[in-house]
Structure 1
Amino acid sequence: MTDARWAVLETLLPKGVKPGRPSVHSKRQLINGMRFRTRTGIRWRDLPERHGRWETVYGLFRRRQRNGTWHRIFGQLQAQADAKGLITREVSVDSTIARAHQHAAGARLRLGLTCSRLYEIV
C-alpha cells in the first residue's frame, strides 16, 4: 500500500488503544496482510510471515468485520470519491432475449403428466 493510500485509510481506522501487551506488528503491516490474502486467495494459514502471524491478521480482520468497521470505511471512501467526482453512475439497459427451443415447452414427464397437471396435484 502506498503512503498516500495509507494516510487516507489511517484517518478512517478506529483510534482505540487496547490495554495489555503492545502489538508486535503495525496496523499497516496487518492490513497489508489482509489485502494480500484477499488479492491472492490463499488460505489464512499460508499468509507470509512478513505480514504478521496469520492468527493475528485473521483476528483483526474478523473483529473489524463483526463490528462493521470495514462497511463503515467502505462507505466513507465511497462518499469521498463521490464528492471528488470520481464515481460515475451509468444505466445500462440490456434487451437480450433468451429463447427456448420450440420443443422445450409442454414436454411430457415420465409419469405421463404434463407439468401443469403435476403442479395441480402437488
Structure 2
Amino acid sequence: MTSVRRVSGGAVLLLMLAAGLFMWAGNPYLWIRVTAAHADSQNLTMGQAAFVLVAIAITGFVMVKVLAVLNGLYAKAMGGSDDVTVRMPWNQSMRDGRTTGRTTSALDVVMVVSVSVALLAAAIWFFFFATYV
C-alpha cells in the first residue's frame, strides 16, 4: 500500500470521526442553541421542543448519508475495500490461530469511537462543569 493511499485514507477517517462526533454531540447542541437564540422567553414551548426534535432527526439522517459517502471514499482510497481487521482481546482464541471470519468496516470502528468520545465528553461535562454553570 502506498503512502498516498494511507494518508488519504487517514484523512477520510479523520473526517468520518469529526462527522460522527458532530452527529452525536454537535447536532443536538446546534439545534438547542438555535432554538434558544430565537426564543422570546426562557420557557420552552411545545412548538420549540418539536422543532428541536425534528431538526435533530433530519440532521442525523443527513449525517448518516454523509458518513456513508465518506465510507465509500475511504473504500476507494484504500483500494476498493472498507474492511478493517480489528481483533479485540476478548475475541481472540486461546490458540490464536483461528480467525472469526467476520470483518469490520471502517464506519463501524469510527461510530464506536465517536460514540465513546461523545459519551465521555458528556460525562466529564456533567460531573465536573455542569454544577458551575
* TM-score, normalising length: structure 2: 0.27
Using CA pairs under 8 Å that are at least 6 residues apart, name the structure with larger relative contact order, 1 or 2. 2
